[in-house]
Amino acid sequence: MIDFRSKGSRRVAAVIFLLAILPSLWFSARTYGSLLLLRSAYEVGSPSVSSVRGWMTLGYVSATYDVPADALVARLKLSPATSVNTTLRTLAERAGVDRFEYVQRVQRAIAEIGPAAVNAGGEKPPNSWFGLDTNAILSAILVYGYPALAAILFLGALGAPVPTGLATTLAGSLAGRGDLDWLTVATIAVIASAIGDVLGYGIGRWLGEGFLDRRGKWFGFSPSRRERVRMLFERWGGITVLLTRTLVSHLSSVVSLLAGLMRYRFAAFLPLAVIGRAIWTSAYLGLGYSVGTDIEAASTFLANLTGLLLSLTVLAVSGIIASGRAPQRSRNT
């Protein structure tokens, strides 16, 4: 087994610790910035303008939020000759103010110009996951409610490229408006995700050792590597299952399948999967419930926060190992 107090392990942990510093700082800045912009948008009474960013040009802002360019220029007290291709960052530099402060000015200007701009701001071009229309998927929740949410989260747990975070945030927003029942939404979300996890686990158990014997080499699963994966599941299986339902949920389907293939105990897998799904669901539903209409900005904030928590976790664990304070493991276990 791995000796976390060996010189080699401590050196590797030290390298990981140093590498984790940069993403921790990056996610910290993004999380803080997205939170401030989201809050400032609510202060001006227009949640949809929380997506305004410094890289945007005046023309892009005008088109995205359906704001007349000349009205925006006038509201920002700019010269009528100002090019619509000028970025907000450049305008902030010209005005001698902080970029974030200037973005807040633009948010207020959009909100002051009129209700049409506020309502239009949330309409964005559809994103796509392998050809799937995100807006169509989210619209299904508006039309069909609970069944659509259950289907999206079930498929997402199986690894389908569907926007589970946005869908859950939207459901939380609808619950906040009274269109859906909060407790029902939460229950359905957790159960649908957990069923997907169990099915993925079951597929892994069904494929079994024979599949790895016959096809394992196709995926790089040599006998020695399979044994290492099995040992990792025995030692860290619980933490892995929990983290892949919460902080790194996009890996949940892979881990569910591997847990089944490695014969990880189902009695341990199921409760950890349910707990992890409950934590994840509460976070996305709660944010949607509190922020209301701008689900994309809210989901972006939560994604940044998740990245921050994950990078801090890596930083803490690698720091403990590098310092030589990791608990000693018996080589005979």
DSSP 27-75: HHHHHHHHHHHHHHHHHTT-GGGGG--TT-BHHHHHHHTT--HHHHHHH
pLDDT band at 119 (very low <50, low <70, confident <90, very high): very low
pLDDT band at 165 (very low <50, low <70, confident <90, very high): confident
CA dist 39 and 44 (Å) reads 9
Tally the residues of the chain. Answer: 333
Average pLDDT over residues 72-80: 90
Residue 137, pLDDT score: 73
Q: What are phi and psi of 99, to 5 degrees?
A: -60, -45
CA dist 73 and 89 (Å) reads 15
More confident of the two residues 28 and 148: 148
CA dist 160 and 139 (Å) reads 18
Enclosing H/E stretch for 295: helix 295-322
Residue 315: is its pLDDT beyond 90?
no
Residue 117, pLDDT score: 42
pLDDT band at 177 (very low <50, low <70, confident <90, very high): confident
Domain-by-domain residue ranges, the chain? 9-120, 126-292
Residue 128, pLDDT score: 42
Residue 292: is its pLDDT beyond 60?
no
